[in-house]
Chains A and B, each alone.
Chain A
């Protein structure tokens, strides 16, 4: 039996215990381990205007949604499912549609097969209604593979928007991976920072962890 993710939504509470005077935005994202170097991670959640001493609650649901868009940008879906599921994009009468496939993907993987005869698609994976990962240019009869570890990368960033690819320069500053394996709830605590000579790099850690 493979163990990968959580069966229930994980309640997360971002706590800003830093000395940051600049109100830096915090970006959270998952990395697609099956991606190519050209596939930049997507900013799944951006927490802006969370000043020191304040908190921000959000959830990490176990379900994901898949939306396919054709070359004209016309969307099909969303269809909800779980990690370890297999989605098929094909024709439903005259329209492009997304459906759950009969097979299962490997644990932690989402497969999106383009069953259209001619058109390329872009496969979009969303979590909690926000874009999590994307694979463009999926050729007919080819499959987009998303391999998502149960973890969130977290760091500070400027000029980053939810649903947008993270700039390589910003990505290089994100150093912390927080595991969600087995969690029911936890605080993500940000510390460090400061604008004077005593400032330290921002640090992120899990605290007040409650296991499922």
Chain B
């Protein structure tokens, strides 16, 4: 019906504007095609000439091409690694080591920065004047100083002047701290301890189902079963029972000073500590501001309405304020997570072997294959951030659905 109408209108206009047909340059469609064609030509020309220059320059400088170098022996050592790696490993292995190091520092950083940032954001809204002022000062100072400067400050200014190994600072739980980093006791699991991990995973799955059941039960009957208590019991109890049943053992290797360094335990290098610490402090300041804005974005009437319904402080926060604030908090929070991941590339300045440092630094210097190395590194970061934004869009759509 309506399509018929518009087509009729179109023909009418076309017949009326007969002269316009004569000069195509006034037709928006033709113009649009023309511009896009021009753009396409420009893009093709640009990449064509870049490609031409690139191949010519690389041929002249005898730079090899292709991704074959990934299988070559790297013959350099990496100081901090999560997987087996030595001089005889390939550049591909080095890439993986760097990537895992980046992920390690990012994941730990994100978890701690979130906890820290939420606390500071809430503290800034505290009714306690001193607490609120302290949080404000923290945010304004940390947010306005470049991250790289903070990082080199912690690394060269603080950790480098820590006491030497002999005069290590003794922390609780057999942890020691010196200018070579931190040594903590290392948990050592017996062979069959894997069963305990499996039990823990099963317990978590059960807990998810219990929560779902509890929610449904509350919706149906109005009575909320003690789901939290049951879940704590399940998550602690099942693995503990399995542990006792199969007789798995958990021992700790405690660091002992022998000769010039500590033996045993987990050695955390100062680069890792400085990078993580700087990333956490910096990102927490931004997360705090996001949290504050999110909580302030919930209209005061919501809290008052919840109060007048007779909800207590805890329920009010949990069921009314936080769900609404989260809707405002989550999108910028995700982009802060992404920022933290990207900022971890500053590790190159203090020598923590992350993706950029290992691959764009050492590998690039050794192979000279700039184009491939830069392309691989950028693609990895791009994939991470596009993946995160895809997740964010999905999550946004999900919380938007629960509205109303």
Q: State yes or no: do A and B come from one complex.
A: no
Q: Which residues of B approach A to under 8 Å, CB–CB?
A: none
Q: Which residues of A approach B to under 8 Å, CB–CB?
A: none
